[in-house]
Structure formats: C-alpha cells, structure tokens
Amino acid sequence: MIRRTHLKVPGKEGFTLLEVILSMGIMALLAASVYAITSSSITAARLSMDQQLVLRRLDAFLRVTRGAFLNLPGKGTVSLQMAKGSGGEAEPQLVLGKVQGLFGIPSLGGGSLVLTARARSDGTRTITMLRIPANSTDRELEAAMNAPGVPLLPKVRKPRWSFLAGANGDGTPAWKEEWPSGSPRPLLVRLQLDIDEIPDSVEAIFYVPPIK
C-alpha cells in the first residue's frame, strides 16, 4: 500500500475551496455587470443611431416637401387621390399638378409631383416622390405612376393628409380629409403620420402660397 505524504511548506498552502468559490463569485458578478453595461450601451447606441437616421430623413423629407409646396406656381393645383397599390391596398397620393419647376429648379420642371405612400411587406409605408412628365400619354402616365420613384421617408404608418379650407362656425380650423382633383387650392396642407422609432405621432403643416 502506497501512502501519500503531503509536505506542508509555510506560505504555499494554496487557496481553500471557499476562497476559490468566493473569488469566482465576485469575478462572475463583475463580469455580469460589465456584460450588462456593455450590452445595454450597444443596444442604446444602436437605437440612438436608428433614431438619428430617422430624424434626419424626416427632416430632409419635410424640407423637400415644404420646398415643393412653396415653389408651386400660380396655376399649380393640389389634390388627393386614392390609388390601389400593387397588393391591392389603398395608397393615398398627394398630387401637385402643373408644377413649373421642382424645388425651385426650373430646368427640372413641368408635369406633376406625386407624393405616394407605398405599402411594404412589413406593414409599413414609404413616402415616395414620383414625377409625372407634362403632356404624357396614358402609357407614359402608367409607367410613371408605377416607377420606383424617390423613396423619401420609410417606416411610416397611417399617413393622413388633410386640407384647410377655412374656418368652422365657431372659428376652429376646418380640416378636410378629402380634396379631389378640381378643388380650389387649400390654404394649408397637413400631414399626420406615425414612425416606428418615434413615440409620438408626427404632424407637419405645409404652407401653400395663395394665388395672387
């Protein structure tokens, strides 16, 4: 029979099981706290970046749309039509007719500008700008309406256009949801929509220059 002998050298006893478990526990706590902070910071940074991107796109969209309204010439028209999208869903289309120039650049001008809310497979919509050339044939018109266009604002839900025609009897503004083709020019156009990354709904009011 072999007998094991342990030589105890002073100062070389090593750690006890309790010490090892305790130190591992502390290490685990520290590692968990570092992991929690790092992972939450990464998540928050990503959310913040997404929000910044959305805000920047919203800002650019509002600037482009305000510019389109402000550059509407005297004979320009404003109307809202409901079209059917490729999936059969209703697609509100704001039509700025007889525009002379786009965004104040006459060389791009002529025809109509259409702001349409294209439905996407994930249930959101993308507000897209289409340009319909002046004096286009039916085929050209159809091609222009089905063109990809310029996507201005993605991840939009429930876009609602309304138009200010005047005041109600009690002096409150009379917003109308419908503004068919042939209507006179509204005083103001309002767009209300929800965006996934923004908790509150977004509302923008566009000034339509009056006809002099």
Partner 1 sequence: MMMSNLDLKKRATGCTQGFTLFEVLIALAVFMLAVTGLAVALNTALQVALEVRQRSFCRAELESRLAFCQAVPPPVGSTRVLEASKNHGVKVEEFLIPWPLKNGKGLDVQGLKKLTIKTQSGNQTNSAEIITN
- Which chain residues interact with partner 1 by CB under 8 A? 9-12, 15, 30, 33-34, 37-38, 40-41, 44-45, 48, 51-52, 55, 58-59, 62, 66, 164, 167, 173, 187-188, 198-207
CB of 87 to partner 1, least distance (A): 29
CB of 69 to partner 1, least distance (A): 9
Residue with tokens 């310029």: 150
Output 137 or 172, the one with its CB closest to partner 1.
Answer: 172
**Among residues 11 and 180, whose Cβ is nearest to partner 1?**
11
State the Cα–Cα distance between residues 204 and 134, nearest whole angstrom: 28
Shortest distance (Å) from residue 3 CB to partner 1: 25
Q: Nearer to partner 1 by C-beta: 22 or 143?
A: 22
Cβ-based nearer residue to partner 1, 34 or 150: 34
**At its nearest, how many Å lie between partner 1 and the CB of residue 133?**
29
Q: Given the complex with partner 1, which of 58 and 78 has the nearer CB atom?
A: 58
Closer to partner 1 by Cβ: residue 146 or 168: 168
What's the distance, CA 50 to chain centroid? 11
**What is the smallest separation between the CB atom of 145 and partner 1, expressed in angstroms?**
28
**Residue 11: CB minimum distance to partner 1, A:** 5
Q: What end-to-end distance do the CA atoms of the chain give, in Å?
A: 116
Strand partners, 95: 79, 114
Q: What is the DSSP string of the chain?
A: -PPP-----TT-----HHHHHHHHHHHHHHHHHHHHHHHHHHHHHHHHHHHHHHHHHHHHHHHHHHHHHHT--TT-EEEEEEEE-TTS-EEEEEEEES-SSBTTBGGG-SSEEEEEEEE-TTS-EEEEEEEEPTT--HHHHHHHHTS--EEEEEEEEEEEEEEEEEE-TTS-EEEES---TTPPPPSEEEEEEEETT-SS-EEEEEE-PPP-
